[in-house]
Structure 1
Amino acid sequence: MLPCVDHLKGVLGGDWGVTFKDQCALEGTTVVVSCQYDYPFPHFVTSVRWVPGQWQFGRWVWDISTSVPPHFEYVGNYRGDCSLKINNIKHTDEGHYLFRFVTSLSRWMSKNALHLSVKDLTAVVEPNTVTEGQSVSLTCRSECGTPKHVWYRDGNVVPQPVFQASRKDSGKYYCAVAGQEKIKSASVALNVQYAPSNVVLSMTPPADIINGSSVTLSCRGDANPPVPPSGFSLYQGKQLISSGPSHTISLLQPSHSGLYHCQASNNVSVRGITFVKSTELNLDVQYLPSVADGNSVNVMCSGRANSANHSYVWYKWTSSSSLLQVGSGQLLFLSSMETPHTGIYLCQASSQLEVINSTKILLAMEEQPSYGHLSVPILGGLGACIFAILFVALLFLWKKQRKTEKKVQFPSEQVSSASTEDQSNSVYANVGKYMPSPQVPPRNYSKKQHANVMHLYGHVNTRRQRSHPQSNNSSSISNCDEVTYSTVTIQDKKSHFDENRSQESRLKMGQNADSVIYSTVANSS
């Protein structure tokens, strides 16, 4: 910085003048601006002050509209030293300042202005993104010159500004003025990238994997940048199962048992290898033994090669998560499986050298099909439907029977036609029908003939019992077998009667008469 010198010949032979240098300071620092002034003899100084300067009309003048901040401190004297101390410099302090003093005989103000510039420290990390193992250089810069400084990473001192980056070197770096650590630069991040490490495949739940249950396999690892979802792959042996950080098997089968591992990649290679493999995880799908109620159960505990030296004790987990001894010996026998026997069992094999616990086994009872939740609505609805159908059927039959009874009526007196000449294996039932409009017979008709004409016959074949020899002459109807009647359909007779036809001829020719209907029923006796 060039010094500013104001120098004029004093009126009484002395020199008037002010000498200082422009000042560049870091924000937050405290600086002292060195300044000297001169005046002629026999003047003596009565007051001094620094004032803001303003360029106006081709010269520096006092800007009386403002004043210097309170943290500007005059540290000179009245005999030629006009030094100025500025504490905790701020960016708002940047500007031009003039020195003015008053003597006993005159006054004087510097012709040139002090220029105060306020700057910041700048931290530079090169490069700011590196792969693990590359070199990193730290540089602290300032427009006011490079002061003695110290480097920090996340508040911790960095011993060397040049180093080989490792993953632990990632963080935020800044530099600070030595001895004035509060005066520091803005932070700059260093990003150290590295391939996945500590890749682990885990399983949830971690134990008691039962056939038919579900399990979730999850892969994770430490990497920068983080492994994307597409960067994870799950394998069973050498077979690819899925891509992604997790995989769920919802219905475990014995075929799912085996060794699994995952691979992770974030496109950062280590010695040319981009995929990092996890340790193998053994998935052991255990069967869920199920036994029907009342059946016997044998559970065997198998130890190591020298199992003959082992003693075996069987335990069962209780509801309070404690172990209850339920037997001893290599074989646990349950003679009759019951509900209290269900639960988780394990055996403990012990010898003089070691005590070994077996894997857990879950013993359960077979579930019987249960329709209890369906029996009430289904059976109730079915019963209601059957009842309704039967009710409708019975009502229909009852109405049909009533209709038939109203249509067909039997006379109170039956006319017997059991004459000796017509005795055969046939039995006749005479059914009388009342005509809706009875006709009056001719005069030469007898009442008997009219009654015969008004009768219809039902012809019923029946097997008669073989009569005893003594009863051959008997024609009583009591010797006939019981007659079974079928439904008889009745039709109206013709209104024309033949007066010369006798009752016997009508019976013989009744098979072709329209007014006679025959219904034949074979007796099963």
Structure 2
Amino acid sequence: MPPEHIQGFTCTIIDVLYKFGAVVLKFCKLNTLSVMLPTHLCFKCVYVRVCVSACVRVCVCVYFSGVLSQRGWGVTYTPERICALKGSSVNMSCTYSYPPSHTVQKTFWVIYDWNSKQEGEDLSKDSEYSHRVEYLGNKNSDCTFRINQLRETDSGTYRFRFLTDHVNRKYTSQLGVTLEVTDLQVMVNPDTVTEGQSVRLICSTTCTLTGSPAFIWYRDGSPLSFTDQSHQFTASSEDRGSYTCAVKGYELHSPAVALNVIYRPKSISVSVSPSGEIVEGSSVTLICSSDGNPPVQRYTWYKNNRAVSPWGGSDRSYTIKTITLLDAGVYYCEARNVIGAERSPPKHLDVQYPPKSVSVSVTPSGEIVEGSSVTLTCSSDANPPVQRHTWYKNNGNELSWKESSYTIKSITLQDAGEYYCEAENAIGTKRSQITLKVLCE
């Protein structure tokens, strides 16, 4: 603003050091106001009188640092900037002063509209705020203000205002508390990794939360051990899932973000259906189970270290429709995806069957002479082993002996005849016979 001249006096504008809360003006030149100040600071243009012999109005840019005081009037905000979570509550700490000749009649807070450059009305009467705000101060010096259930739209600059008992005497601070309300967002970088690679999780906010709070992390709803806002780790298959974050002491949770960990097949095992004992002649299916990401693309079956399914086969099951003794052995499966392949532990397939190849032999061999000792021995192949042998003579007369060998210590002519051995296990029975001829002495 050009200088104003008052009746016959002329004044040269020189360097001005003007204190109104802080140092504000770097230099002035005659008839032209040139201000060199950082543009990110908060300034106010005021008019002051300089020179003793003349009245000259100079536009002075003033930087305020949180305390505004004019002849006993002042407001202090601590802190001046607050970053808070959506849904939480915030206290705007504030103290104020005024001349002792005044008595405070009314106190309230307003929000400054930077677009219209106007202050709003008493927030306690605003329908968007009335049920969420509390004045915690008094009419002496404390002007602390509380907002509950914060919304992102609550972000803005809040100012304290008070009225005294003097006519037309009201005071609104030119500063205020800048409130920024933030949501929580999880950032996963990268969101798809191969097992063994590094991953960083960030619980992102639009501003730095006041008070350096602790963070809580969840994977698929279960809490994790780390509490930093940013956490880096080496990914394993167990880390795959949906992540959310929260701030300790607050209910707000971020939306879930998925981490995809890809890995070769693991936890491979072979199961048999139906379960239980495998009996010769039944149908049996071997099933290969595995955990892999992406899913297994190909299974290969092996018996006794030789492939029994063609390469490129994709079936996770291997069926033997009518199983025999020849199918018994050690089986395992190999599961393969795009990352790699792994084999299962071996699975022994035990095929059970009733006694077979039952036969009776005589000891000693050759001719049997009356008075000699003769032993009949019953032999068989069975799985499980034969549990009981039963001996019969001629027309099915059961002998009392139940062992695999039957001995006649002094054979007689009456002992001649047909002998039968019946072998029995849990699966079934089978007989074999032999004819015993006794010669006279």
In structure 2, which of residues 403, 406, 425 is the aligned counterpart of residue 329 of structure 1? 403
The structure-2 alpha-carbon separation of the partners of 1:181 and 1:22, relative to structure 1 and needing over 3 Å to count, comes to closer
The structure-2 alpha-carbon separation of the partners of 1:244 and 1:69, relative to structure 1 and needing over 3 Å to count, comes to farther
Q: For residues 273-318 of structure 1, what are the alpha-carbon distances to aligned partners after superposition, in whole Å with 9 as ceiling and x for unaligned?
A: x343441433536368699xxxxxx974679xxxxxxxx85299xx
Shift of 1:24: 3.0
Corresponding residue for residue 271 of structure 2 = 202
Distance in 2 between the 1:283 and 1:8 partners?
103
Distance in 2 between the 1:300 and 1:258 partners?
24
Shift of 1:6: 11
Quick check: 1:82 aligned with 2:151?
Answer: no
Distance in 1 between the 2:225 and 2:280 partners?
57
Corresponding residue for residue 276 of structure 1 = 343
The structure-2 alpha-carbon separation of the partners of 1:89 and 1:7, relative to structure 1 and needing over 3 Å to count, comes to farther
Asked if structure 1 preserves the Cα contact closer than 8 Å seen for 2:189 and 2:199, the reply is yes
Sequence identity (%): 32
Quick check: 1:162 aligned with 2:232?
Answer: yes
Distance in 1 between the 2:100 and 2:322 partners?
108
TM-score after normalising by structure 2 = 0.56
Runs (5+) with no aligned partner, structure 2: 1-39, 49-69, 359-376, 391-399, 407-417, 432-441
The structure whose Rg is larger is 1
The structure-2 alpha-carbon separation of the partners of 1:85 and 1:5, relative to structure 1 and needing over 3 Å to count, comes to farther
Q: For residues 327-356 of structure 1, what are the alpha-carbon distances to aligned partners after superposition, in whole Å with 9 as ceiling and x for unaligned?
A: 731269x9789xxx9xx943xxxxxxxxxx
Shift of 1:48: 1.0
Q: Secondary structure at the match of 1:168?
A: helix
> What does 1:140-289 correspond to in 2, within 5 Å?
140-145=203-208, 147-153=212-218, 154-158=222-226, 161-177=231-247, 180=249, 182=251, 184-227=253-296, 230-237=297-304, 238-241=306-309, 243-253=314-324, 255-269=326-340, 274-282=341-349, 284=351, 286=353
Asked if structure 2 preserves the Cα contact closer than 8 Å seen for 1:7 and 1:16, the reply is no
**Partner amino acid, structure 2, of 1:90:** R
Shift of 1:57: 6.1
Distance in 1 between the 2:319 and 2:284 partners?
6
Distance in 1 between the 2:244 and 2:334 partners?
38
Q: For residues 143-183 of structure 1, what are the alpha-carbon distances to aligned partners after superposition, in whole Å with 9 as ceiling and x for unaligned?
A: 221534335342131278333333333444444435x3545
Shift of 1:261: 2.1
Asked if structure 2 preserves the Cα contact closer than 8 Å seen for 1:53 and 1:61, the reply is yes
Distance in 2 between the 1:51 and 1:16 partners?
18
Distance in 2 between the 1:143 and 1:253 partners?
70
The structure-2 alpha-carbon separation of the partners of 1:289 and 1:114, relative to structure 1 and needing over 3 Å to count, comes to same
Q: Secondary structure at the match of 1:157?
A: coil
Asked if structure 2 preserves the Cα contact closer than 8 Å seen for 1:130 and 1:193, the reply is yes
**Partner amino acid, structure 2, of 1:120:** D
The structure-2 alpha-carbon separation of the partners of 1:219 and 1:50, relative to structure 1 and needing over 3 Å to count, comes to same
Q: Secondary structure at the match of 2:428?
A: strand
Structure number having the greater strand percentage: 2
Distance in 1 between the 2:252 and 2:202 partners?
16
Distance in 2 between the 1:8 and 1:69 partners?
38
Corresponding residue for residue 362 of structure 1 = 428
Q: Secondary structure at the match of 1:81?
A: coil
Asked if structure 2 preserves the Cα contact closer than 8 Å seen for 1:51 and 1:67, the reply is no
**Partner amino acid, structure 1, of 2:193:** V
The structure-2 alpha-carbon separation of the partners of 1:156 and 1:181, relative to structure 1 and needing over 3 Å to count, comes to farther
Which one has more relative contact order, counting CA pairs under 8 Å at least 6 apart?
2
Corresponding residue for residue 187 of structure 2 = 124
**Partner amino acid, structure 1, of 2:146:** K
Q: Secondary structure at the match of 2:292?
A: strand
Asked if structure 1 preserves the Cα contact closer than 8 Å seen for 2:278 and 2:351, the reply is yes
**Partner amino acid, structure 2, of 1:155:** P
The structure-2 alpha-carbon separation of the partners of 1:44 and 1:137, relative to structure 1 and needing over 3 Å to count, comes to same
Q: Secondary structure at the match of 1:66?
A: coil
Distance in 1 between the 2:182 and 2:103 partners?
38
Distance in 1 between the 2:284 and 2:116 partners?
87
Equivalenced residue count is: 314
Structure number having the greater helix percentage: 1
Asked if structure 1 preserves the Cα contact closer than 8 Å seen for 2:283 and 2:321, the reply is yes
Asked if structure 2 preserves the Cα contact closer than 8 Å seen for 1:195 and 1:223, the reply is yes
Asked if structure 2 preserves the Cα contact closer than 8 Å seen for 1:22 and 1:116, the reply is yes
Shift of 1:26: 1.7
Q: Secondary structure at the match of 2:270?
A: strand
Q: For residues 459-514 of structure 1, what are the alpha-carbon distances to aligned partners after superposition, in whole Å with 9 as ceiling and x for unaligned?
A: xxxxxxxxxxxxxxxxxxxxxxxxxxxxxxxxxxxxxxxxxxxxxxxxxxxxxxxx
Corresponding residue for residue 62 of structure 1 = 121
Corresponding residue for residue 7 of structure 2 = none
Q: Secondary structure at the match of 1:286?
A: strand
Corresponding residue for residue 514 of structure 1 = none
TM-score after normalising by structure 1 = 0.48
The structure-2 alpha-carbon separation of the partners of 1:33 and 1:6, relative to structure 1 and needing over 3 Å to count, comes to farther
The structure-2 alpha-carbon separation of the partners of 1:50 and 1:282, relative to structure 1 and needing over 3 Å to count, comes to same
Distance in 2 between the 1:239 and 1:67 partners?
74
The structure-2 alpha-carbon separation of the partners of 1:35 and 1:157, relative to structure 1 and needing over 3 Å to count, comes to same
Shift of 1:104: 1.1
Quick check: 1:42 aligned with 2:113?
Answer: no
> What does 1:339-358 correspond to in 2, within 5 Å?
345-346=424-425
The structure-2 alpha-carbon separation of the partners of 1:363 and 1:159, relative to structure 1 and needing over 3 Å to count, comes to farther
Distance in 2 between the 1:46 and 1:8 partners?
30
Shift of 1:219: 0.9
